[in-house]
Structure 1
Amino acid sequence: MLSGGNIVIVGGLLIGLLYGAVALLSGFCLLSGLRGWWARGDSRLIRTYALALGVAIVATQLLAARGVVDLGKSIYLQPSFSAPLMFFGGLLFGYGMVLANGCGSRALVLLGRGNLRSFVVVIVLGIAAQMTLKGLVAPARIFLLQASQTTPKIISLPALVSLAGLSENFARTLAASVIAGALIIFAFAHAPFHRSWGQIAAGFAVGLLVTAGWFATGYLGADDFNPVAVTSLTFIAPIADAVQYAMLSTGLTLNFGIAVVAGVFAGSLVTALSTRRFQWEGFSSPRHMLRSIGGAALMGAGGAMAYGCSIGQGLTGLSTLALASFVAVAGILLGTAAGLRGALRVQPLVSADAQSGPLS
């Protein structure tokens, strides 16, 4: 019989495999969604993302309301956090995502499809994240964290709603219903999306995979003698851990995040090969490579400061309705907007690579 820790590893691998396949087939990506919506008027991908978030919120809050998973044990609902640092980290991540033309999860997915640009992004992101979490940049991050962190009485949206005198469960239900309902209405308030059955399926699938991660780590992996971190889909620290594990595996232990990273790559690779989507791709110029490296470094450092990425905070963090996650996601969206529009807009590269499809 598998122990709780081994169940979590197997669960992470399966969740990663499914996410890799779904993301490759559907093009699931926050950056692609925002770029398509703002630049081309095609909002189907951003509506897929909204649907995934709505489903994740409903299902995750249902698990929490029934006492199946204690979300308070996750990093998103810790009593102390630094809103300025998380917002700043989100800004860096969002702008870096535009520079690198895709987030960490999308880079993993496209790496499985043969995109060698993504290999560079994954490695640099992992190194930058590890430097910010535990390496040369860590003292600066810790100093900023200690100088700006607070311990607010209210750390989640349901707790904020409960100030109106509502019970905890009713406040949770009300907050989740309003946010998730608005997201799902937005997703389906678009006629072309109604006909995009693949995108609808992808939205439901990703939202349920986020919930499956909470269930795997918070319920199946619950063990007082061998506790595991309560978490779900996220890619900044896990990519950093995966890079380190590849180099020092004999001195490290597998965890849920590393298993998810491996699963996403494997799921994408198998799907790409079986559907004949696999194709080797590389950089078009040194400038292209430098831009990707710079974007990956910003994503790694920024994601470490923000405690997550466009998936880790944008889906998993927001599924907990943590106020800190709303702060981080606001930074990510503003950083992405700065990279796509305005004075700091990242100019597109005109190349054969751009014609064959963006990283995101």
Structure 2
Amino acid sequence: MDLVPLVERIGESPTAALFGLITGLIFGVAAQRSRFCLRAATVEFARGHMQDKVAVWLLTFSTAVVWVQGAQLLGFLDTSEARMMAVPGSWSGAIIGGLLFGAGMVLARGCSGRLLVLAATGNMRSIVSGLIFAVVAQMSLTGWLAPVRDFLARLWVTSGGRNMDLLAAVHLPKEAGLMIGLLIALLALELSRRNRIGFSRLVFASGVGFAAALGYGLTFALSQVAFDPVQIESLTFTGPSANTLMFLLDRNSILEFDIGLVPGVVIGSFVSAILAREFQFQAFEGASPMRRAMIGAVMMGFGGMLAGGCAIGAGVSGGSIFAGTAWLALFAMWIGGMTMDTLLGGERQAVAA
């Protein structure tokens, strides 16, 4: 793919934003149609079930791993300098942030990516929670909460000035990543068969994982032709939510992949909901759910920034490149979500967001 004419025509920053928009559109449509959500999967698993929510999550995750690892083996992609891999990772941040994020997404009844999708389909509680999430994420990045985040993140970091490549750390061949992805995909397909999940939902679940791989592919391709350094990155919603909020508030902000990503998700989810006749306004059911959602959004905003990514950023994008802290953060999110659901007693919370 020759990107030079496009870059010369509209510029490097607008091209990055355009790629974010395309990635977001695909994610928005696929996530809305598949009802992909880490929170729903963890709650379902915590209650002793391995049904459609777990199957969809596993299929999404495995699809991202297969596409990313396959592209690397074929020489089409190199994620060794991706944003998550090229800087030191925080083990302490992954543990503490992951637990906070996981517990928060259960309280808010949706992870950050799911809240964005639901907000675009008329869910007012997701709009409120999403705004709180973005504000707290920004506070954790550069605001009043940044010193706390920095302190916790520095307690235990990866060595060597980079994140840990799990495959290299355990001396596995490069092909092992693809094989792991295929094995998880087989498990997901077997669970899908047992739960009689429709073909279209499986396709859309795979589409979420493909969007994560596409983000890496597009930013990598841009990095090969751009004059200025371009970060190789993909789907994540902690940083992009904060950056999009600041872009709307600061006229001096510049376009980048993040700025296109969030609007792309909103547009894709909105169009998908309209076409499926699933758009409808929904409000909080009462004061107690509202309080929980707001507390959960705060926990996700701080936890996601501390963990180095949200359920999508660490859980799918980071997991697909086998970043050590991403896998640890994902594990902590599962534990945090399952623990919070157990503490709530599974009471009257529908598994589906």
Task: Give TM-score scaled by structure 2 length.
Answer: 0.90
Measured after TM superposition, the shift of residue 35 of structure 1 is 2.6
Once residues 222 and 51 of structure 1 are traced to their aligned partners in structure 2, the CA distance between those partners, rounded to angstroms, is 30
> Match of 2:164?
155
Which AA in structure 2 matches 1:28?
F
Measured after TM superposition, the shift of residue 75 of structure 1 is 2.9
Residue 121 (structure 1) aligned to one of 108, 129, 133: 129
Contact 2:29 2:272 in 1 (8 A): yes
> Match of 1:62?
70
Once residues 226 and 52 of structure 1 are traced to their aligned partners in structure 2, the CA distance between those partners, rounded to angstroms, is 33
The CA deviation string for residues 230-283 of structure 1, in whole angstroms up to 9 with x for no partner, is 1111111111111111211x1101221221110111111112222221111111
The CA deviation string for residues 125-172 of structure 1, in whole angstroms up to 9 with x for no partner, is 00111111111011122223334224159811221243xxx7xxxx11
The CA deviation string for residues 273-315 of structure 1, in whole angstroms up to 9 with x for no partner, is 2222111111122222111111000000000000111111111
Once residues 216 and 154 of structure 1 are traced to their aligned partners in structure 2, the CA distance between those partners, rounded to angstroms, is 22
Which AA in structure 1 matches 2:68?
T
**Structure 2: 5+ residue runs without aligned partners?**
none
Q: Secondary structure at the match of 2:47?
A: helix
Residue 34 of structure 2 is aligned to residue 26 of structure 1: yes
Residue 175 of structure 2 is aligned to residue 173 of structure 1: yes
Once residues 38 and 132 of structure 1 are traced to their aligned partners in structure 2, the CA distance between those partners, rounded to angstroms, is 29
Once residues 266 and 87 of structure 2 are traced to their aligned partners in structure 1, the CA distance between those partners, rounded to angstroms, is 34
Residue 214 (structure 2) aligned to one of 212, 215, 218: 212
Once residues 335 and 39 of structure 1 are traced to their aligned partners in structure 2, the CA distance between those partners, rounded to angstroms, is 14
C-alpha distance 330-180 of structure 1, shift in aligned 2 (>3 A): same
Contact 1:126 1:243 in 2 (8 A): yes
Measured after TM superposition, the shift of residue 333 of structure 1 is 0.8
> Match of 1:299?
300
Once residues 33 and 229 of structure 1 are traced to their aligned partners in structure 2, the CA distance between those partners, rounded to angstroms, is 31
Which AA in structure 2 matches 1:87?
I
Q: Secondary structure at the match of 1:251?
A: coil
Residue 207 of structure 2 is aligned to residue 199 of structure 1: no
Measured after TM superposition, the shift of residue 181 of structure 1 is 2.7
Contact 1:157 1:175 in 2 (8 A): no
> Match of 1:345?
344
Once residues 38 and 270 of structure 1 are traced to their aligned partners in structure 2, the CA distance between those partners, rounded to angstroms, is 33
Which AA in structure 1 matches 2:310?
C
Q: Secondary structure at the match of 2:289?
A: helix
Once residues 287 and 244 of structure 1 are traced to their aligned partners in structure 2, the CA distance between those partners, rounded to angstroms, is 30
> Match of 1:268?
269
Contact 1:8 1:221 in 2 (8 A): no
Once residues 132 and 195 of structure 1 are traced to their aligned partners in structure 2, the CA distance between those partners, rounded to angstroms, is 39
Q: Output the aligned Cα RMSD.
A: 2.2
> Match of 1:136?
144
C-alpha distance 85-138 of structure 1, shift in aligned 2 (>3 A): same
> Match of 2:52?
44
Residue 2 (structure 1) aligned to one of 6, 12, 20: 6
> Match of 1:227?
229
Once residues 25 and 147 of structure 1 are traced to their aligned partners in structure 2, the CA distance between those partners, rounded to angstroms, is 40
Residue 84 of structure 2 is aligned to residue 76 of structure 1: yes
**Structure 1: 5+ residue runs without aligned partners?**
none
Measured after TM superposition, the shift of residue 199 of structure 1 is 2.5
C-alpha distance 23-150 of structure 1, shift in aligned 2 (>3 A): closer
Measured after TM superposition, the shift of residue 195 of structure 1 is 4.8
Once residues 85 and 37 of structure 1 are traced to their aligned partners in structure 2, the CA distance between those partners, rounded to angstroms, is 24
Q: Secondary structure at the match of 1:32?
A: helix
Once residues 163 and 131 of structure 2 are traced to their aligned partners in structure 1, the CA distance between those partners, rounded to angstroms, is 37
Task: Give TM-score scaled by structure 1 length.
Answer: 0.88
The CA deviation string for residues 308-347 of structure 1, in whole angstroms up to 9 with x for no partner, is 1111111100100111111111111110111122xx3365
1:252-331 aligned at under 5 Å gives the runs 252-331=253-332
The alignment covers a number of residue pairs equal to: 343
Once residues 269 and 291 of structure 2 are traced to their aligned partners in structure 1, the CA distance between those partners, rounded to angstroms, is 26
Quick check: 263-272 or 28-37, which moved more?
A: 28-37
Contact 2:99 2:333 in 1 (8 A): yes
Contact 1:60 1:319 in 2 (8 A): yes
The CA deviation string for residues 21-69 of structure 1, in whole angstroms up to 9 with x for no partner, is 1211221111122333443836122112111211211211222334433
Which AA in structure 1 matches 2:164?
I
